[in-house]
Chain A
Amino acid sequence: MSVEGAHSNGSASAEVAARVERRWATIAVIIVVMMALLAAFAGIHRATMPQPRVETTDPSRLHLSGEFVESNLGSVLETNGNVTVRAIGQQYSFTPACIVVPVDTPITLRATSADVVHGILIQGTNVNTMLVPGYISEQLMRFTKSGDYLMPCQEFCSFGHEGMWGKVKVIDKADFANRAKGGGRLSCVGQ
């Protein structure tokens, strides 16, 4: 092999090599910085940010008192027109198993787990969060199309994981307001 040629006029070629390399390193650094800036920009301006606060809850008392007692689960129309949905995951179902919400409305999903780690994923949307027992997950969402969406558990939660599928029904705003008139917590279980 004749790399010797490259060797004999070593210093000149070494300089060229180093220059090309520095140029590439600069480009690489710029790419990385751009990516970080892009992430920061998207986070701040599009407001898709992680939940700001860590909230805890005691899973062994979930059924007894507090926000996640059974009678408080489901969708509720707030006075400002927004909707809050409260749900829990347990082996191997969600309560409520069918969530009903209005279209084109800001919705806050608050959920937790009663036993092991689960996840909530609503197909066809970017609603996707973990349910970790002891902690409350909060996610903001808004559906622009009415219809039925599948809502599988996306984390292995033991032997029945493959059967843990919930549903989301997105309905007309007026229809939802009508149903919400009587107060109480709405769901579409059994419908």
Chain B
Amino acid sequence: MLVNRKLILAHFWLAFAVFGIALTLGAWQMFIRSPIGTWLSNPELYYRSLTAHGTVMGYVFPTLVAMGFGYAISESALEQRLVGVRWAWAGFWLIVVGAIMAMVPVGLGRASVLYTFYPPLIGNVFYYLGVVLVVVGSWIWVALMSVNLRVWRKAHPGAPVPLAMFANVAGSYLWAWTAVGAALELLLQIIPVAAGLKATIDAGLARVFFSWTLHAIVYFWLMPTYIAYYTIVPRAIGGRIYSDSMARISFILFLVVAMPIGMHHTFADPQVGAGFKFIHSAFTALVALPTLLTVFTICASVEIAARLRGGRGMFGWIRALPWDNPMMLALAFSFVMLGFGGAGGLINMSYQLDASIHNTQWITGHFHLIFGGAIVIMYFAIAYDLWPHLTGRELIDLRLIRTQLWLWFIGMIVTTFPWHWVGILGMPRRMAYFDFGDPAIAPQALSVTLSAIGGFILLASGIMFIVILARGMRAPLVDAGPYRFALAVHQPTMVPVALNTHALWVALMIALTLTNYGYPILNLALSEGTSVPAVYVGAQ
């Protein structure tokens, strides 16, 4: 029952429009710093572009996808009109205004601080205020998801919350809480300095606040993808969810263990002691758990679909899968990239191995493979799957859709594999220019060139994606019927309270954050003489 289609379409269109712009910037960055690009006489332009690309891809694009998808889930899974539509539009416009407010100073070269902010570098205050507006807009969505679930519960006392909505609300709570770290950094530390009220700032404390956000935000990006794995893929390929309760446990685990581990981003930092680095490192191993469970459940669900289609044998069933179905293709590509990316992630999470790749191009290669690859390819699949229900029109270009997904997959592999490799060779990240004439750097030239070629493949695929959706707005009308989610093999009639509500897990998430972050933050905040003078960008 998708009633507020305009609202959902507005979120998706804005998301994909900014994605298109940021993707173009990304391809340009790849090209200009590669040996095939001509030397950029003004490196500052590179950092403007990088700030815009990172801010849009990290904050604006995935947030809008999660919000649009969240509204769609709320209306269709709960079969209930969205409560608070005006608020939802207010949230949307806050994001529009915030994104513009942030991007103007970035475009003018007044806020080239990159999306990670890292003080004492300080940019124009409107950049940070814009980011705050984007986050506040998304918090309205969090509140609405909670309210809508509550309204539904009142009408259906004791009934199992549909899995898609259970996961969606878990993701929204995770986002609400993980954004608090960066919000504290912005409101307490950066904005007073950017506004000229203070002149010094504790850079070490700021990095710890940011790490609070930086890890779990990754799981917020991942949520729509995991929701699609569990609740869309099995339906789209004619199968069933292997286990409803395992799915719930996975989402709960994300909620609880994604948060208290962010300090693995400060492994190489001097302001965090060895003890807390060790604790966070150990907790980090735990986040592999929900992903391992998910891989099992999804593979089993896919196998069910294959056997229902007559698949036989130990592995023979794989051939029986509907490989011409875009959702099947997207899932397979996503899993392959998740596998490689996950293996890379195991290296990052180990303090000892991390030392050889920390802040090298390996890191950018890694998160492009996971985020740009495994996660974003499922955003594409979600859009393709929802589109007919939002527009009332059929997506007819199935072959074009398959080509687009293939290109994204190939492009990601071509881009990110050499990207990892130059990282191992010690190539630092975030640099506008490399002197490939230096004999010590020359061996990296070929790999960087390959990455740039992969970048253009990705750009082509991204353009195709937008064209397909745009053409879908004018295709023949069709009655797509109600939007449905996958059913489990054993559809639950009763779910234990712990697997049907979030309160306990939210409490645990907050408690674990406080135990793992409380002491380091207080310790840094109370220690004297560690504030340093701010360095304003673009003010020389």
Contact = CB atoms under 8 A, between A and B. Distances in A.
B87 interface: no
Given A43-B351, A130-B268, A35 B43 contact: no
Interface stretch (A24-32, A68-76, A81-89, A100-108): A24-32
A116 B535 contact: yes
B355 interface: yes
B355 A32 contact: no
Contacts of B360: 121, 154
Interface of A: 1-3, 6-7, 10, 13-14, 17-18, 20-21, 24-25, 28-29, 31-33, 35-36, 38-40, 42-43, 46, 48-56, 58-60, 91, 112, 115-117, 119, 121-138, 148, 150, 152-163
Given A130-B266, A133-B203, 6 more contacts: A91-B535, A121-B358, A123-B425, A128-B355, A155-B430, A163-B433
Interface in B272-309: 272-274, 277-278, 281-282, 285-286, 288-289, 292-293, 296-297, 300, 304, 308
B420 interface: no
Return the 4 tightest CB-CB contacts between A and B, nearest first: A123-B426, A154-B359, A28-B292, A135-B270
B89 to A, nearest CB: 36
B204 A132 contact: yes
A39 B426 contact: no
A25 to B, nearest CB: 6
Given A123-B425, A128-B356, A162-B431, A24 B296 contact: yes
B529 interface: yes
Given A39-B350, A162-B431, A134 B285 contact: no
B274 A117 contact: no
B241 to A, nearest CB: 11
B41 interface: no
B288 A35 contact: yes
Contacts, number: 212
B242 interface: yes
B477 interface: no
Interface stretch (B98-106, B112-120, B447-455): B112-120
A60 B532 contact: yes
Contacts of B296: 21, 24, 28
Given A50-B274, A58-B529, A128 B282 contact: no
Contacts of A134: 202-204, 271, 529-532
B47 interface: yes
Given A1-B238, A21-B243, A58-B529, A121 B359 contact: yes
Contacts of A116: 118, 120-121, 203, 535
B346 interface: yes
A154 B285 contact: no
B269 interface: yes
Contact of B114 (A2, A46, A59, A156): A156
B399 interface: no
A136 B270 CA distance: 6
B137 to A, nearest CB: 27
B352 A132 contact: no
